[in-house]
Amino acid sequence: MSTDEQEQTQEERQTSVLMEVSNTMVRLYKEQFGRGPTKARSHWAGPDALLCVLEKTLTPAERNMVKMGEHQRVRDIRMFFQYATVREFCEPVEQLTGRKVRAFQSSVDTEADGQAVEVFVLHPPGYDGPSRISYALGGAEGPT
């Protein structure tokens, strides 16, 4: 196999991983919030960070709360639910990338029609210690 073919294969694998992460995030939103986003795109942000941008993620109840001016309450509730399901968000990313998640951040912008971003910072390839999931479960002590 030539170097060009190897690079193309690696590029195809990365594209497939990004597509699968996006599809997984849509599925998780449907399961966790009862409604999936209208669009999801995942991107590598350097060699160790993966982010997924999701559009129009608010549920009908959340949209009503936003109309009432309850933006912070919607953000608080959404963050509570997402961090209560760290395992559900991180496990598929670990399976798809073959790397352990070091950190997970989640955000939603209620002013931008519920645009959300899920960020996964990965440990280097070959890392064999605990992942972010362990910290969420009260297992391993978090990084210092």
pLDDT tens string 10-39: 777 777 899 999 999 999 999 988 889 999
In a domain, 124, yes or no: yes
HEC per residue, 59-122: CHHHHHHHHCCCHHHHHHHHHHHHHHCHHHHHHHHHHHHCCCEEEEEEEEEHHHCCEEEEEEEE
Q: Which domain holds residue 11?
A: 7-135
In a domain, 54, yes or no: yes
In a domain, 12, yes or no: yes
In a domain, 69, yes or no: yes
Which regions in the chain score pLDDT beneath 70?
1-8, 137-144
94 burial class (0-12, 13-18, 19+ CB within 10 angstroms)? middle
In a domain, 2, yes or no: no
d(CA 142, CA 101): 12
Average pLDDT, the chain: 89
| Domains in the chain, number | 1
Whether 104 and 119 have beta carbons less than 8 Å apart is answered as yes
In a domain, 51, yes or no: yes
Whether 108 and 118 have beta carbons less than 8 Å apart is answered as no
User: 1 by DSSP, 3-state: which?
Assistant: coil
In a domain, 118, yes or no: yes
In a domain, 143, yes or no: no
